[in-house]
């Protein structure tokens, strides 16, 4: 997916064991910005030890939406509030896992890997920003 000129909400799903999730989200924001996209918000779902124990920490909360229901609601609200054009998942998804979130978010959903493999913007006057910029109106939502 080409993100040039689009407002993008980044979504990440990480195990509690993954301590560098903040750096991964920052790197993803930089990659989107380098391709001409504008990060308007972020949602991070962290999975800790629960009923399933440590063996489930890397598994999605929901096979349909990947995220827990509360995070889905946060992401939908953030997309609406910021006028996001697309949602980019930082963590890998299957093709099937992109379908339901796209229906729920009512926006195209793609993987960061697809953004990285999309053609770079070209042409006269096209200039990709070096870094994503966030303002108070463009919050970063994270939860532990």
Going across the sheet that includes 140-142, the strands are 109-111, 86-89, 7-15, 38-47, 140-142
Q: Which residue has the tokens 């994503």?
A: 132
Query: Model pTM?
Result: 0.74
pLDDT digits (tens, 9 = 90+) for 8-64: 999 998 888 888 999 999 999 999 999 999 999 999 988 764 555 445 444 445 555
Task: Name the one residue in this structure whose structure tokens are 């301590």.
Answer: 19
Strands 38-47 and 140-142, by their bridges, are parallel
Tell me the torsion sign for CA atoms 69, 75, 81, 84.
negative
Average pLDDT over residues 94-110: 88
Section 123-140 average pLDDT:
45
Q: What are the DSSP E strand ranges found in 16-139?
A: 38-47, 86-89, 109-111
Distance CA 127, CA 40 (A): 19
Angle subtended at Cα 16 by Cα 13 and Cα 17, rounded to the nearest 5 degrees: 115
């Amino acid at each position: 997916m080409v993100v040039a000129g689009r407002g993008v909400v980044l979504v990440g799903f990480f195990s509690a064991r993954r301590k560098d999730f903040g750096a991964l989200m920052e790197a993803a924001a930089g990659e989107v910005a380098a391709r001409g996209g504008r990060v308007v918000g972020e949602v991070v779902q962290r999975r800790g030890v629960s009923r399933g124990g440590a063996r489930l920490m890397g598994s999605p909360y929901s096979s349909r939406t990947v995220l827990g229901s509360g995070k889905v609601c946060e992401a939908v609200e953030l997309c609406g509030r910021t006028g996001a054009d697309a949602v980019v998942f930082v963590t890998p998804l299957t093709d099937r896992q992109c379908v339901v979130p796209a229906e729920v978010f009512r926006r195209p959903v793609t993987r960061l890997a697809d953004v990285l493999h999309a053609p770079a913007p070209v042409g006269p006057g096209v200039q990709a920003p070096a870094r994503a910029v966030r303002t108070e109106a463009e919050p970063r939502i994270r939860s532990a």
